[in-house]
Structure 1
């Protein structure tokens, strides 16, 4: 400004005129702008005058000229790179046209100095903004704030721009997405999504070439392929009708393009220049550095957080391993010290802070299952049959809004369910440490149960040998061995013999025998004197006091059979010998019970039968089932040769024998006349070659019918 004041003073001295106005037009300006005046009203009028014809080209090598426009006197100066300048004289003077060359040169140099000062000020502003951008990059890691500052700095040093927009590429949707704006409405962030290659920004991102547009038609033509939705979104954020120019440059990290930076001109009078494009690329490079720094910081922060998390996990794992070692050592000591199951379960409950319940499948009776809060015996068997891994159970209670949860841990030896642990749990399950504790405890409990079962098997073998010695002895040896078993010489005894069949898994058979022995010891105490299992049978010796006990015994045995059948693990055939007095007759009761049990087993039947109830079937005890089947087949063979033809005759004969050879009762049963019955029986006798009035033939038919349907 001091330079222009100096020129004003010089002109006033040379021409003796009133103060002047100085106007300049740089290459980016669309028209002249006022640089110096002391008469504002005249400057406004002159600015209106210069709107149309003031921009004139200079002739080659021309540096200044004198002009008159509508009685106005102008001194025009031309500068090759910097633009033009005008001095408007407020009062016309003839001397203006007679300025000497030195005076013209002084004015030209003064104006050139003023333009240089403006250029220097502009450059200083640019460098200030660039340095501010660099400081913001190094001074903060708030990416959004840095980007907004960079766009604002670009707008302040590129005067032709008055709005800015930064797009970043989102690989998840394969679109350019707005991340920061200046001069646009925030609705742009919601819907504006550019495809790669779409409109100006999409093309710059695609090929990496910066683009510059100086006019509305030129810009509109370049945006002609923008989608309708994106055009509507952009136009809603800023009226595109006023868009007069645009700069767009790529943002890259190394060779990878990550977005574009766009400056828009809506209301400025200046024009964009190639220098503006290069300057904007510098701001874009700043943006890439900021984004890269933010990315590196985020990665470093994430790595630090991961390290912290890993360190915490390692510490937790270390603490966990210490706890595991303590738990393992504690459980190992319990195993070495032969602690019983109750002690082990109590220790597990203390370690896990859970009220654990232990169910011994082999030894616990029904009264123990009745005390379980959630399950009965059959439910547990259904849930755990064939299962080796823990089961998480969601429990619903009628009349309660809340639910309960628990884990069932089966104790398995091969294919045999030995028992289970019931552990209350939260909905989220058990902790890892609790799981580990229970798993180790489960192994020790399983080992304890297997050990008990093995010891029991040895004891059963010993009891079997002793009992066989008793029933095989006589005289003094008998009395001595009876005392060994705690038998009273003249008491009343009864033997029960159970045969287990259809159980081909030897381990399961042994478990079933162990379970049956333990149940009978409980159910028949105190009458039970001796109970043991051997191979596939269980022997029970009871001391009896009367027939009433014998009746109760049958009911208890039948209940045991029914419950056993529900488990479907083995078929139970039970024989009961006669009640005897004196130990010398134990062998008789044992043989009777054994024969009765084998009678049922040979016919694939389960249940309970007393030897005394066998009746005529005693005669068949020593006969094989094959011999019995052959006898029945021999009697009924003529019927079976043509079953459709003789089915009615066979039914008549069987009904006749069933009705004790009563013609009237048989006729009623068959709903036929007695004479018709006689005719059928006559044909039956002819077919079977028998005479039903002959005792031998009648007995043969009766026996065959009995054996067939028995």
Structure 2
């Protein structure tokens, strides 16, 4: 390999070329002439810092240092007595290829170890096993006596714990728990950058603030005082420190270098990839488990639904699945399962509806105290369909919910929503059937048909009946409004109780038709009915208008009461009013029920607009006309009410006649003005 060997003045005859890398040992690279390999008289590589030569018995030894911790020694059988600086320079230059080849081989070893670690990262799924292999590979490319430990941060403890180790180190180190900022490990973790320690005093500075307990464990696990140099390297996962790799070098002098630190940083990056991959795999495994479990939960709950076990059975099974006490609340019919838990949560159906309106999703709430025991924490999960809240699942918690419990609750809520929607669909079918029978009753002419239909509907023919029609209005979508209508029907039956019979009640769109019967006074029935409408409108945040017909004793008059209720409702609708109106309270307005509101307003404007335009004259003509007509056209009575002289009243009346082009002596004109005044006064009321 030494191409100029034949031309060398120094190397003649027999010779040997040796190399020492990392101060470990002398290795023979090349020899000629049959010299017996013997390094017993070679200098210690640790002590060679510059090129020099020395004379031995019958041969010469030349030492040439190269690069980092690499020395080439040449043993030559020669008669030369001394070498000049130029001789050493030329010899060093000539032997440089040996150093280059050795360095390349060393780099190849490092590269192979790096590639081996990369293959392990892509193939292994066992994180602990993988971290140990990466750590061993990292130490194997550092040609000194070293010990390595990988520390990983445990968020639950708020400490760094040993996750992997390589080299002669005791198990006592496993008991250590390092806080961020504590010792070399904690400071590296907090700092997020690597550090090379080659001075023992510097080591002691960062080591000195470790807790006595950790120092004791470390002392039993490893003779820290033997360390000559130390490298600490942080391991970042998504740019956040999660681990620290620390390598201790022992021996006679500090040997770790910046190059070693950079090499360890490369392995640290592999650890980061390994941790990221392991977490991705764990996430995939967990997601796969959750998907399978979700399918199992869904299949189990749907099976109960298909077997018509009912919502209560589904809720009971769901409680077993999550292993926690659970309350199922049906807000359509205001039912609780188990019923004994109705008051335990401290919540009512109205409060749950307000909770959903406020939160629009799952929420946590503290239940009321029970005796001397504090109330449990509740996880409130709404059962929703078409943006309307149909019910709630109230889960009593002692801690948090894991992902599988959350999945079970979500699946349970979905199945229960279908159950409630199915109940609503059956109710709509019942409503349609009831509506058809009721219409047959009110349109029938034959008494036998009346009795037959009344019997089907549950109407007591011995009691008087009244028909009312309620119309619900809400800005909510039609599907949500339908749910409110269903809830209105259920709540009405429950609120009126047994004393007031509700034999017929059905919904069609946003209208609910109701037949009321009672042995009590009719005024009591109306009072309780009005009270229910007011309270229900308040907590539901809906607007309700209700028209009610008269009480009739004859069954065939049910159609008349229904017609009156419909007219009263039309009257309220024409006025844009949301209230309760008895047909008998409409009075003269019955004449105008079917007239459009716009047409009535136009009729009133024809009379009063000319008078209001003359108001700037200070005459108050509109008020004068209203007072005059309200006083039954008595001039003296009207003047007293207006606090004006009677002659002033006469002047105003003549002015009104002139402006309107009519005469108060014409009965038709008077009737026209009376109607306009009545409608004007009604609109004010």
For Structure 1 versus Structure 2, the TM-score category normalised by the shorter chain is 0.5 to 0.7
After superposition, give the CA deviation of every residue in 1:537-581 in whole Å (9 maximum; x if it has no partner). Answer: 2111123335x1x21222233223323443576432211111112
- C-alpha contact 1:406 1:422 (8 A) present in aligned 2: yes
Query: What corresponds to 1:92 in structure 2?
Result: none
Query: What corresponds to 1:440 in structure 2?
Result: 411
Query: What corresponds to 2:313 in structure 1?
Result: 343
Aligned Cα RMSD in Å?
Answer: 4.8
Q: Distance in 1 between matches of 2:372 and 2:681?
A: 55
Query: What corresponds to 1:537 in structure 2?
Result: 511
Query: What corresponds to 1:331 in structure 2?
Result: 301
> 1:474 and 2:445 equivalent?
yes
Q: Residue 563 of structure 1: SS of its match in structure 2?
A: helix
- C-alpha contact 1:652 1:680 (8 A) present in aligned 2: yes
- 1:524 deviates by 3.3
- C-alpha contact 1:488 1:583 (8 A) present in aligned 2: no
Relative to structure 1, is the Cα distance of residues 542 and 174 closer, same or farther in structure 2, using a 3 angstrom cutoff?
closer
Q: Distance in 2 between matches of 1:611 and 1:178?
A: 96
Aligned to 1:361, which of 306, 327, 331?
331
Alignment of 1:162-561 (within 5 A): 179=197, 181-182=199-200, 283-286=253-256, 323-364=293-334, 371=343, 373-385=345-357, 389-393=361-365, 405-425=377-397, 429-475=400-446, 476-489=448-461, 491-501=463-473, 505-526=477-498, 527-545=501-519, 548=521, 550-561=522-533
Q: Which 10-residue stretch deviates more, 595-604 or 651-660?
A: 651-660
Query: What corresponds to 1:134 in structure 2?
Result: 145
Q: Residue 347 of structure 2: SS of its match in structure 1?
A: coil
- 1:436 deviates by 0.7
After superposition, give the CA deviation of every residue in 1:604-639 in whole Å (9 maximum; x if it has no partner). Answer: 111111112221112222322233222212222312
Relative to structure 1, is the Cα distance of residues 288 and 177 closer, same or farther in structure 2, using a 3 angstrom cutoff?
closer
Q: Which 10-residue stretch deviates more, 387-396 or 617-626?
A: 387-396
- 1:441 deviates by 0.7
How many residues matched?
A: 470
- C-alpha contact 1:496 1:540 (8 A) present in aligned 2: yes
Relative to structure 1, is the Cα distance of residues 284 and 595 closer, same or farther in structure 2, using a 3 angstrom cutoff?
same
After superposition, give the CA deviation of every residue in 1:34-73 in whole Å (9 maximum; x if it has no partner). Answer: xxxxxxxxxxxxxxxxxxxxxxxxxxxxxxxxxxxxxxxx
Which of structures 1 and 2 has the bigger CA Rg? 1
Query: What corresponds to 1:156 in structure 2?
Result: none
Query: What corresponds to 1:637 in structure 2?
Result: 609
Relative to structure 1, is the Cα distance of residues 398 and 318 closer, same or farther in structure 2, using a 3 angstrom cutoff?
closer
Q: Distance in 1 between matches of 2:619 and 2:489?
A: 48
Q: Residue 145 of structure 2: SS of its match in structure 1?
A: helix
After superposition, give the CA deviation of every residue in 1:409-460 in whole Å (9 maximum; x if it has no partner). Answer: 222222333222233345x642211111111111111101111111111111
Q: Residue 324 of structure 2: SS of its match in structure 1?
A: coil
Q: Could you list the runs of 5+ residues in structure 1 that have no partner in the other structure?
A: 1-80, 82-130, 146-165, 192-249, 254-279
- C-alpha contact 1:576 1:610 (8 A) present in aligned 2: yes
Relative to structure 1, is the Cα distance of residues 406 and 282 closer, same or farther in structure 2, using a 3 angstrom cutoff?
same
Relative to structure 1, is the Cα distance of residues 646 and 469 closer, same or farther in structure 2, using a 3 angstrom cutoff?
farther
Q: Distance in 2 between matches of 1:578 and 1:321?
A: 61
Q: Distance in 2 between matches of 1:189 and 1:524?
A: 81
Q: Distance in 2 between matches of 1:296 and 1:140?
A: 23
Relative to structure 1, is the Cα distance of residues 708 and 364 closer, same or farther in structure 2, using a 3 angstrom cutoff?
farther
- C-alpha contact 1:141 1:293 (8 A) present in aligned 2: no
Aligned to 1:620, which of 592, 595, 601?
592
Relative to structure 1, is the Cα distance of residues 371 and 402 closer, same or farther in structure 2, using a 3 angstrom cutoff?
closer
Relative to structure 1, is the Cα distance of residues 171 and 330 closer, same or farther in structure 2, using a 3 angstrom cutoff?
closer
Q: Residue 581 of structure 1: SS of its match in structure 2?
A: coil
Q: Could you list the runs of 5+ residues in structure 2 that have no partner in the other structure?
A: 1-61, 63-141, 149-165, 174-183, 210-228, 233-249
- 1:705 deviates by 2.4
Q: Distance in 2 between matches of 1:580 and 1:379?
A: 39
Q: Distance in 2 between matches of 1:307 and 1:174?
A: 21
- C-alpha contact 1:360 1:418 (8 A) present in aligned 2: yes
Q: Distance in 2 between matches of 1:371 and 1:662?
A: 65
Aligned to 2:561, which of 584, 589, 606?
589
- C-alpha contact 1:386 1:415 (8 A) present in aligned 2: no
- C-alpha contact 1:360 1:420 (8 A) present in aligned 2: yes
Relative to structure 1, is the Cα distance of residues 470 and 135 closer, same or farther in structure 2, using a 3 angstrom cutoff?
closer
- C-alpha contact 1:365 1:519 (8 A) present in aligned 2: no
- 1:179 deviates by 3.8
Q: Residue 390 of structure 2: SS of its match in structure 1?
A: strand
Query: What corresponds to 1:275 in structure 2?
Result: none
Q: Residue 580 of structure 1: SS of its match in structure 2?
A: coil
Q: Distance in 1 between matches of 2:147 and 2:469?
A: 97
Please, what TM-score do these two structures have when normalized by structure 2?
0.57
Relative to structure 1, is the Cα distance of residues 301 and 629 closer, same or farther in structure 2, using a 3 angstrom cutoff?
closer
